Structure 1
Amino acid sequence: MSLPDCLRRMSLPGLSGTLGAVRADRLLSLVLLLRYRGRMTAADLAAELEVSERTVLRDVEALSVAGIPVYAERGRYGGFALLPGFSIDLTGLTPGEAVALLTSGSSATSGALGLHSEFSSAIRKVVAAMPDRARAEAVGAAERVLVRQGGLLRDPADPGPVPVLTAVQQAVFGGTRLRMRYRPGGPAGTDGPAGAGRGGATERVVDPIGLVQASGRWYLLALRDGVDRTYRVSRIEAAEPLDEPAHRPDGVDLEELWLRRRADFRSRHPGVRVRLRLPVARRERLEPMTVESECASGDVLEVTAAFGDLRHAAASIWSLVPEIEVLEPAELRAALHARAVAAAAALAPAAATTPRTGLCPEPGAGPGTELAGPRPSAH
């Protein structure tokens, strides 16, 4: 007889309708806890199920009467357990589907919706229903993925697709080393070897620890030559999982590791704050930025926005000039002014006697058409 059949056949005196459904669900959760975690004390079960120990004892007795092989072990390390070999057939969930569910239960999802206890109950049912080997694979993979609010410095407006994510995920879940071609960018040391700076992509082999999605942007936490590294996945130009097993420390708490690395990064790269002035009607132009504060007076709006560094700020604001005025810092005003001077020089009108000629024929010109401009003298 399957577990659902046992529960349906159980006699629940005095309980009907909603109350009966609540108790049946709690009994199922109790069995799933024992199936997934093994022996548990009455106190642990009570805390997990949010009931009293007396209620747990009554539920255990009811399960025994219904034919569920739950038994008590006496002594200091005793508790309740299921007979070895007892299995539950609830779903045909694949390991991949289970990983998707297990990695979705972050504080940014179920907890934020007020569904933390419901989500935990659902996950217990999903995990306990899986075969032992598939359950071990799914739980192991889920421990290598973290979804959180808040990136390293700021939240991206639209991170866009990440073509290499599948290959990176294969290495992370499979526990293998990863060969990748990585292009550093942003503030020096943002992703990759400290002090790598900006430049072309280079190839490296790393030992993946886990994947973190922070505010929609994926990061790979890894070891390179035994040293902690954090890589932005969107800057990985090519990735190939290797056949070699990765050197991953045991007992990694991915969330704790991510928070520690992010705090360390922010302490080394505090970023810059920029004061901007613009018409209130153009407020939407600030959407890609991280606005920390704003103040309006009539038709004028002043805001303070955060950027990774001056280079990042200049690149973000340049296309908005002159609609947006930079009030401070002075270094950013100077950088934008220098860029404007260079652009003006490049676009300055040419003298009438010196035509601006190109190297290619004008559109529509046929083969053999001579280029405009002065003809070189013969020697």
Structure 2
Amino acid sequence: MRADRLVSLVLLLRQRGRMTADTLARELEVSTRTVLRDIEALSAAGVPVYAERGRHGGFSLLPGFRTELTGLNHEEALALLTAGSARGEQAFGLGSALASAMRKVVDALPESHRATASDAARRFLVEPETDLLSRRVVTEEVPGTTMREIRRAVLAGHKLRIHYAATDQAPRWRTVDPIGLVTVRDRGYLLATRSGADRTYRLSRVSAAEELPEPAQRPNRVDLDRIWRDRCARFLSGGHVAVLVRTAPERREDLLSTAVAVRTAEPDGDGRLRLEATFQDLRHAEWALWQLGPDAEVLSPESLRTSLRDRAAAMAARYATVSDSAAGSGSTDEFSRAAGSVRT
């Protein structure tokens, strides 16, 4: 790993010019002391790194220095292959490997193309941390050592021990046969079998993992996309509630972000959308659809329509008596009109 870090250090200095020890440490995810030791090692090996003191000082390479350092290692190649998945490099713990691989790719470009490519890369932003409504994208974190053990077992085809906390249960150790890794909306999952039965484990609930030497019981070839579709279908068919709802088109994404799944979506007669959405249970459905207010109308089931109507009536009653300062403001009438939009 140190050899890869030394290569990355040289490539950073080649591509960015003068850099301080603190900046190098942040880029390489190590301490400043480690960076200083690495620079000493490079100098001892004949790499012309020199230091410039002062306010704008730092470390640089002699102009024109070039060596062949662009061979991708296994982790870097894997990172590039998975980078096409939205934020996949973060979900599978490959962020550092991807950064290192991309430095090598840029360094392998001809000098005349390097600046153009770097500028072009700055023109694209994929999956920023916040959306237009300033909502932060929450990426579930998995400890790096845990993710490496899981990844190694998946790729090597070995059994895996995981310390896993299922919903409403205390964490305990399980031994599984890993099949593959999936990331969906910034959530990572391990697909596996346990004693021959299909199992899906959320990576953020794995606190520790250990690759075992025994081979996993799994087929040599795998269609991960088909397996994921099958497991999703089984998940949606067990214990969930289907809701038919009409909603304003501009609230479609809000509904998608709270539902477990949306099976159908088609235009309705008055410019609205008619969707069949799946929720965990009636309580989840009531909470999610209440957030949409009068922009959504539940068509079925009737029990959900009733609970939303009763909730709106209770809210209207709570605010029916206004304070003296609010008297005459018309707020009661406005709220009553809003409550009346929940049809019975």
Q: TM-score range by the shorter chain?
A: 0.3 to 0.5
> Larger helix proportion, structure 1 or 2?
2
Between the two structures, name the one with larger relative contact order (CA 8 Å, sep ≥ 6). Answer: 1
